């Protein structure tokens, strides 16, 4: 793995968090009526018990806008103060305009520059790093970074290998430039990112783009849904998330024993346990909510961060380790001093 390219040369702080999960709950028992599966199989293999499904009329930008409003409220900033909106998503409202443009319109952030980032389940941490560069170079002072997905729109409900794993939701943070000298809470100390495009075919939505447009001939084979080699993905997820965590901690001058809470990507409880074990961290120091939501791709980390924040699990000064892995393959990790 190449050496991380960025250094913690400046101060961007997470000053507010928010999340929005759709109301409709789809349980494992509900799924067992649609495909040949069971609560026992899904729970024991993944840790997932239920997931949220957005309403037909809700687009990803609707979920994102709700999470953004809550993050702005928690940060105490007005929409006009937001100078940058980045939405991490693989389920954009449409090919263009970007989902971030729709969010801007919905929340009235008229002074923001807006675009999307596509890095699958690592998308939120990629977007956080992009926003951090804007802030740390003095280009912008206040940004909304959002992870939002309507993955139910990419699911083949006849494929038990994938339909049990995913759900919908959105999480957001407001980040702001902090004075280098002050110990602002929520400060992002380090971020590492990695990509291995040689494994792009292991986890993908093959159709619907320019490589394979949907046609009357191919529509019945569901090319516009998630295709995944589960075991291969599992193996790389553990290795890369572990490596990225260790690198981000090292870059911040810390070690795993300093970590008060790990907020990992929520894809599979067994992946999360394997990483915790290799970092020698007890599961009490690892945040998990995938039992309620399943894998919401780019939304998992900001949703979990918001839930941990609201639950009082983040104390001032705590070292928080964020780590993600997703299609691409992509991976990323950030260390935050709360
Ligand atoms: C998908 C995953 C849960 C499957 O678990 P697994 O233990 O690897 O299971 P396998 O793929 O080996 O499948 C085992 C068997 O269960 C079956 N199976 C798959 N899905 C099933 C389901 N929902 N219900 C019941 N049986 C199922 C398979 O058909 C297979 O049957 P076979 O042995 O007769 O062929 C696991 O591989 C995983 O979590 N992978 C990583 C996913 C991930 O992280 N994705 C996102 C990355 S961002």
d(CA 263, CA 207): 32
Q: What is the pLDDT of residues 173-214, one digit of tens each?
A: 999 998 766 667 799 999 999 999 999 999 999 999 999 999
266 C-beta closer than 6 A to ligand 1: no
φ, ψ dihedrals at 183, nearest 5°: -90, 65
The alpha carbon of 334 and the centre of ligand 1 are apart by a number of angstroms equal to: 29
| Residue 338 CB burial class (10 angstroms; 0-12, 13-18, ≥19) | buried
Q: How far is CA 325 from CA 58, 139, 194, in A?
A: 26, 28, 9
Pocket test of ligand 1: the residue of 37, 230, 244 to mutate, having most ligand atoms within 8 Å of its CB, is 230
If pLDDT is split at 50, 70 and 90, which confidence band does 8 have? very low
Q: What is the pLDDT of residues 220-261, one digit of tens each?
A: 989 999 999 999 999 999 999 999 999 999 999 999 999 999
Which one from 114, 121, 136, 163 is the annotated catalytic residue?
A: 121
pTM, to two decimals:
0.95
What is the mean pLDDT of the segment spanning 22-41? Answer: 98
Domains along the chain with CATH numbers: 12-177 (3.40.47.10), 187-337 (3.40.47.10)
What is the mean pLDDT of the segment spanning 79-95? Answer: 98
The alpha carbon of 230 and the centre of ligand 1 are apart by a number of angstroms equal to: 6
Query: What's the pLDDT at 322?
Result: 98
Cα-Cα-Cα-Cα dihedral of 304, 274, 234, 293, to 10°?
-30
**Is pLDDT of 7 > 70?**
no
Pocket test of ligand 1: the residue of 37, 162, 196, 268 to mutate, having most ligand atoms within 8 Å of its CB, is 268
Pocket test of ligand 1: the residue of 234, 242, 270, 275 to mutate, having most ligand atoms within 8 Å of its CB, is 234
The alpha carbon of 161 and the centre of ligand 1 are apart by a number of angstroms equal to: 6
What are the residues facing 319 on neighbouring strands?
A: 259, 337
Which one from 101, 265, 268, 289 is the annotated catalytic residue?
A: 265
**Is pLDDT of 331 > 60?**
yes
Residue nearest atom 45 in ligand 1 by C-alpha distance: 267
If pLDDT is split at 50, 70 and 90, which confidence band does 10 have? low
Contact 307, 74 (CB under 8 A): no
Q: Establish whether 121 is a catalytic residue.
A: yes
The alpha carbon of 41 and the centre of ligand 1 are apart by a number of angstroms equal to: 9
């Amino acid at each position: 793995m190449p050496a991380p390219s960025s250094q913690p040369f400046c101060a961007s702080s997470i000053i507010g968090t928010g999340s929005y999960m759709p109301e409709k709950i789809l349980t494992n028992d509900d799924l067992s009526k649609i495909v040949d599966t069971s609560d026992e199989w899904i729970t024991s293999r993944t840790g997932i018990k239920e997931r949220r499904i957005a309403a037909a009329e809700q687009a990803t930008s609707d979920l994102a806008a709700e999470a953004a409003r809550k993050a702005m409220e928690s940060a105490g900033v007005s929409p006009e103060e937001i100078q940058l909106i980045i939405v991490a998503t693989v389920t954009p409202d449409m090919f263009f305009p970007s989902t971030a443009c729709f969010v801007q319109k919905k929340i009235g952030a008229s002074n923001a520059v807006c675009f999307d980032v596509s890095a699958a389940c690592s998308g939120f941490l990629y977007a956080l790093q992009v926003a951090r560069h804007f802030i740390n170079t003095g280009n912008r002072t206040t940004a909304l970074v959002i992870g939002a997905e309507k993955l139910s729109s990419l699911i083949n409900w006849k494929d038990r290998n994938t339909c049990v794993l995913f759900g919908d939701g959105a999480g957001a943070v407001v980040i702001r430039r902090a004075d280098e000298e002050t110990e602002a809470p929520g400060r992002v100390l380090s971020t590492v990112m990695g990509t291995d495009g040689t494994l792009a075919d292991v986890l993908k939505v093959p159709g619907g783009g320019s490589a394979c447009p949907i046609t009357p001939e191919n529509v019945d084979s569901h090319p516009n849904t998630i295709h995944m080699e589960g075991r291969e993905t599992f193996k790389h997820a553990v290795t890369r998330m572990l490596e990225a965590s260790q690198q981000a901690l090292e870059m911040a001058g810390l070690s795993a024993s300093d970590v008060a809470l790990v907020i990992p990507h929520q894809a599979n409880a067994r992946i999360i346990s394997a990483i915790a074990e290799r970092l020698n961290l007890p599961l009490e120091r690892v945040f998990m909510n995938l039992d309620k939501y399943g894998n919401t791709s780019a939304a998992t980390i900001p949703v979990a961060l918001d839930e941990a924040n609201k639950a009082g699990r983040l104390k001032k000064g705590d070292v928080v380790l964020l780590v993600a892995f997703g299609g691409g393959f992509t991976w990323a990790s950030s260390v935050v001093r709360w």
